[in-house]
Chains A and B, each alone.
Chain A
Amino acid sequence: NAGVTQTPKFRILKIGQSMTLQCTQDMNHNYMYWYRQDPGMGLKLIYYSVGAGITDKGEVPNGYNVSRSTTEDFPLRLELAAPSQTSVYFCASIWKDPLNTEAFFGQGTRLTVV
């Protein structure tokens, strides 16, 4: 049981490039979340999804896009990378109802935009 898997673990992008951060979970969880973590700022919610085909914006969605075509996958897309998107990104998933269980986190993707 792999849990939540994020790829890549590290990436350096040039300004204006695009990339997709992958997130896959094998626990059949309905809820999935993308966060960014910056020093002293905690985790900020970018986008989340309550099930396949359904996504919604979090606190800081600008510059990002997501899709949820399957229960397992929740990729995060950066279209035009900017230095402000330098951060550590975490994907998380929750089973059926976040009121009754914990969130499982991936190991993170450290992204640097130069």
Chain B
Amino acid sequence: AQSVTQPDIHITVSEGASLELRCNYSYGATPYLFWYVQSPGQGLQLLLKYFSGDTLVQGIKGFEAEFKRSQSSFNLRKPSVHWSDAAEYFCAVVASRLTGGGNKLTFGTGTQLKVEL
């Protein structure tokens, strides 16, 4: 079964500093990977997704992520963090029905980002 690991529960960065949130996945076939963001009391919003092709994907709000098959990683990055980026971030994977995964959308445990002014 597929799984997603986000090793950092909390991260604090200063406004204007760069950011990298880690995500590792476990899945036998080609994964379909997502990053979502959740503001307090809100639902989840898609930041970006990777299905195939270019391993560096661009998302909304200035975020990007790089898929590295050799490291089973899909880390989220932002060059300069804004105070409004403070939120919880979730990495997710879909296991394809075509490879026995049932099209289940599985989430990591999340990383809480705090931005210091």
A contacts, CB < 8 Å to B: 4, 31, 33, 35, 40-45, 48, 50, 56, 58, 90, 92, 94, 97-100, 102-103, 105-108
Contacts and interface: CB of A to CB of B under 8 A. Distances in A.
Contacts of B104: 45, 48, 58
Nearest to A107: B43
Contact of B46 (A33, A42, A99, A103): A103
A86 B101 CA distance: 29
Contacts, number: 59
Chain B interface residue bracket vs A: 20 to 34
Interface of B: 6, 9, 32, 34, 41-44, 46, 49, 51, 90, 94, 96-97, 102-110
A103 B44 CA distance: 9
- Residue among B6, B102, B104 with most chain A CB within 10 A: B104
State the 9 A-B residue pairs at the shortest beta-carbon distance, nearest first.
Answer: A105-B43, A42-B109, A102-B46, A43-B107, A105-B44, A98-B94, A42-B107, A42-B110, A98-B103
Nearest to A41: B109
A99 B51 contact: yes
A40 B34 CA distance: 19
Nearest to A6: B43
Nearest to B6: A42
B34 to A, nearest CB: 7
Given A33-B105, A103-B44, 13 more contacts: A42-B90, A44-B107, A50-B103, A90-B44, A92-B105, A94-B105, A98-B105, A99-B32, A102-B34, A102-B46, A103-B46, A105-B43, A106-B43
Contacts of B108: 42
